[in-house]
Structure 1
């Protein structure tokens, strides 16, 4: 194996260790964040306030020396507050583009579901095209670009549900949840003198992250595993409890995600277990169940679990 791969694997281990010092006991969630970063996807973090979502995103940005911007979403936020605006300069007699916070490597849209749907939709172009268009001019975003959006549960006061088209553009949806008792006690002890973010040091830079993203593309996906992946997403459209199944965009997102997941686990090939591990995170927020199914106790997680149990797993792979 090339030495650059080994160096990058070591860097990923160091990034993971840095993040684990900020948020204790959340190894799976940290792996999902790194997966999205290397797959070029975006992350939706849904949880109650105070569980460490913002701290974790800031720590990731510091660890890769990435530009970081934060937007606090509220009903008064305008689309131009995100994308930027062209301002007329009298002396130069021309319009000058003043970039918004979206021009960064890692953008944190805090409490995105407190912004109006019009403002939420301003993020769609940047999420899909990695560019913004203002007054007819298109501006490319820095590379890598990764959006982390946090949201409170929908039953919280003053929130707007994200439209399905925008939900479908998030590669991964996570929920950190409350820490266990041991982790919460250790958190108190670690913050007696200083905040964990103050101790975060840069492990790598944006250029190395771009190199890793290119290496992820060469991770091998066997034809049998690809068939398995497609079978899983297609079964979500046929399940009797599902009103809206996974879109073709979801299939592509899962394809990119499993390759990045294999890479962060220091493999050059994808296993069926990678698909099983990522399915709840990548497909869960894209499904909509029938009302009758929900009344009868069905959940998205239970439906996905039944699908994974039904779809035949390939046993012989070419590596």
Structure 2
């Protein structure tokens, strides 16, 4: 499939608007935001190795909202089971049939938070859907909606209670990056947006009198 110069220019403009929109949520992280959209448009997945509190959940939700899609967050823990991710078939006594109850993996953008805290068996529940865009439960195949992307985060391997991702799992990710904490300029903008930097001495005095 070839792309005309006009189509390329239009895609470049749209891509820039999407990145700018997500940047309003994740300040000062243009490079990571661009990687997220590159993975999405390339039908790939993104692996983030970072510490908690750097905006990973905000990134996933903002990307999903920018393309008018859905997003789900899965907190990976040692007791998480594969069915908690993909969904399960439950027998309906009224109809006499098994009914499939979809798991949180059925969304456009899925955040697999701290993926290496779960057992390798549970991690493997994502292998099929990340490669083929579908989930097979009890012999029945259920496709996920497009676009589909997994943004997985993993704690540094040195931390206790982590399971190293096998090569078969790492092979599913197109890109690997780290968000990191915001720099000084972004931190000031965050504080200004929260209203913390707008408090003046006079306003503090007046509020003290009111109390």
TM interval, shorter chain, is 0.7 to 0.9
Provide structure 1 residue ranges, at least 5 long, that are not aligned to the other structure: 194-319
**1:130 equivalent among 129, 133, 152:** 133
1:157 lines up with 2:160 in the alignment: yes
After TM superposition, give the deviation of residue 2 of structure 1 in Å. Answer: 6.4
* Conservation of the 8 A alpha-carbon contact between 2:49 and 2:177: yes
Equivalent position of 1:48 in the other structure: 51
Equivalent position of 1:191 in the other structure: 194
The list of structure 1 runs, each at least 4 consecutive aligned residues, that deviate by more than 2 angstroms after superposition, is 1-11
Q: How far apart, CA to CA, are the structure 1 residues paired with 2:94 and 2:59?
A: 44
DSSP-derived class of the 2:182 partner: coil
Q: How far apart, CA to CA, are the structure 2 residues paired with 1:145 and 1:172?
A: 15
DSSP-derived class of the 1:108 partner: strand
Output the aligned Cα RMSD.
1.5
The 5 A counterparts of 1:135-284 are 135-192=138-195
Q: How far apart, CA to CA, are the structure 2 residues paired with 1:4 and 1:164?
A: 37
Q: How far apart, CA to CA, are the structure 2 residues paired with 1:164 and 1:35?
A: 22
Equivalent position of 1:227 in the other structure: none
The 5 A counterparts of 1:81-100 are 81-100=84-103
Equivalent position of 2:201 in the other structure: none
DSSP-derived class of the 2:24 partner: helix
DSSP-derived class of the 1:22 partner: coil
* Conservation of the 8 A alpha-carbon contact between 2:60 and 2:71: no
Q: How far apart, CA to CA, are the structure 2 residues paired with 1:85 and 1:192?
A: 45
**2:39 equivalent among 36, 41, 44:** 36
Equivalent position of 2:122 in the other structure: 119
State the TM-score, normalizing by the size of structure 2.
0.86
Equivalent position of 1:27 in the other structure: 30
* More strand by percentage: 2
Deviations 1:224-252 (A, max 9, x none): xxxxxxxxxxxxxxxxxxxxxxxxxxxxx
DSSP-derived class of the 1:60 partner: helix
Equivalent position of 2:206 in the other structure: none
May I ask how many residue pairs the two structures share in their alignment?
Answer: 193
More displaced, 183-192 or 32-41? Answer: 183-192
Equivalent position of 2:82 in the other structure: 79
After TM superposition, give the deviation of residue 114 of structure 1 in Å. Answer: 0.9
Q: How far apart, CA to CA, are the structure 2 residues paired with 1:6 and 1:89?
A: 53
* Conservation of the 8 A alpha-carbon contact between 2:44 and 2:173: yes
After TM superposition, give the deviation of residue 79 of structure 1 in Å. Answer: 0.1
Q: How far apart, CA to CA, are the structure 1 residues paired with 2:5 and 2:170?
A: 38
After TM superposition, give the deviation of residue 146 of structure 1 in Å. Answer: 0.4
* More helix by percentage: 1
After TM superposition, give the deviation of residue 178 of structure 1 in Å. Answer: 2.0
Provide structure 2 residue ranges, at least 5 long, that are not aligned to the other structure: 197-211
After TM superposition, give the deviation of residue 4 of structure 1 in Å. Answer: 5.1
Q: How far apart, CA to CA, are the structure 1 residues paired with 2:139 and 2:161?
A: 33
